[in-house]
Structure 1
Amino acid sequence: MNLNTQFSGLFTALLFVIFQSCSPTSSSDPQVTVTEFVEIRTAHPEAIIIDVRTPAEYNSGTIEGANNINVLDDSFVPKVSTLDKSKTVMVFCKSGGRSARAKAQLQELGFTDVVDLEGGIKGWKAADKKVVQP
């Protein structure tokens, strides 16, 4: 094998690794903006929206159509395990930390289309989006 062939193979492998790390199906997908969240919700009206904050936080105002399943509660995994894995699942919390955890857990459970709102409900409010009382 000559040097050009070795270099070409190495270069191809490197490109593959870079491409895979940027792939939209990666489990480390970034959070989506409020605008993207709204667009995805519009495109998938059957999506399951989960507010992963505490019940007290949820009761202070949430996104319309959201169900409250607290990611910090021991019942989170049993509750989300009953959901339809073929549907888009949209998660959010107060600012983005807990929803990232929820997204990872959902993906571990086999959910393949999980969307995490960047900035959480704080970002939603900052974008002047409607918040409802449950």
Structure 2
Amino acid sequence: MKLLYAKNFFSVAILLVFFHVSSSLTAQSIAYKALLSTLYDSDFPVLKPDQLSDLSKYQVLDTREKVEFDVSHLKGAEWVGYDTFNLENVEALDKNKPVLVYCTVGARSQNIGKKLIEAGFTQVYNLYGGLIEWSNKEKPIFQGDSPTKKVHTYTKSWGIWLTKGEKVY
């Protein structure tokens, strides 16, 4: 009888831990979405990671600082920076081909995206949730040409939102 009680107790404990972890992740996801809604302009187009199956259809621009880009980035991304961003650096891009901009969470990339639209780019999209959301969805990220799990989360306070990946500050 004691063995049966111990097995049942262990099973219930595992279920409670699983429920707590999955509830925490759901709560975090809801909180992250709420936070993002305060950062994004409702009229600026976003694409969620699950909507992107082929990045080669886009001119992918990383709008973070170089040290962040060097830690990891999306495959084929071109670093354009944020503080150092200059329209001259994107002159060679096709203004009529879709552009996907991203940063850590999407705030800086939205600002760069607005500059691109003002410069005549016709199809500019912000990566919803930025590199954090991309990594949390277990989409591939790269350091150079090699896959990595490292994500520069900008600051430790933004790092709390990264649940799948290795945080770098």
Q: TM-score, normalised by structure 2?
A: 0.57
Q: Considering only CA atoms, is the larger Rg found in Structure 1 or Structure 2? A: 2
Q: Distance in 2 between matches of 1:114 and 1:83?
A: 12
Q: Distance in 1 between matches of 2:127 and 2:63?
A: 11
Unpaired runs of at least 5, structure 1: 1-26
Equivalent residue for 2:77? 66
Unpaired runs of at least 5, structure 2: 1-41, 145-169
Q: Distance in 2 between matches of 1:28 and 1:80?
A: 23
Equivalent residue for 2:49? 34
Deviation at 1:102, TM superposition (A): 0.9
Deviation at 1:46, TM superposition (A): 4.3
Deviation at 1:83, TM superposition (A): 1.5
Deviation at 1:31, TM superposition (A): 1.9
Equivalent residue for 1:7? none
Q: Is the 8 A contact 2:45 2:124 kept in 1?
A: no
Q: Distance in 2 between matches of 1:77 and 1:117?
A: 20
Instruction: Give a deviation string over 1:66-103, Cα, whole Å, max 9, x none.
Output: 01010221x52111233211211111001110010011
Q: How does 1:107-118 map to 2 (within 5 A)?
A: 107-118=117-128
Q: Is the 8 A contact 1:52 1:93 kept in 2?
A: yes
Aligned length: 103
Question: In structure 2, do the counterparts of structure 1 residues 82 and 66 end up closer, same or farther at CA, with 3 Å as the change threshold?
Answer: same
Question: In structure 2, do the counterparts of structure 1 residues 28 and 72 end up closer, same or farther at CA, with 3 Å as the change threshold?
Answer: farther
AA partner of residue 74 (structure 2): I
Match of 1:132 among 123, 142, 163: 142
Runs of 4+ with >6 A deviation: none
Equivalent residue for 1:95? 105
Equivalent residue for 1:20? none
Equivalent residue for 1:50? 61
Q: TM-score, normalised by structure 1?
A: 0.70
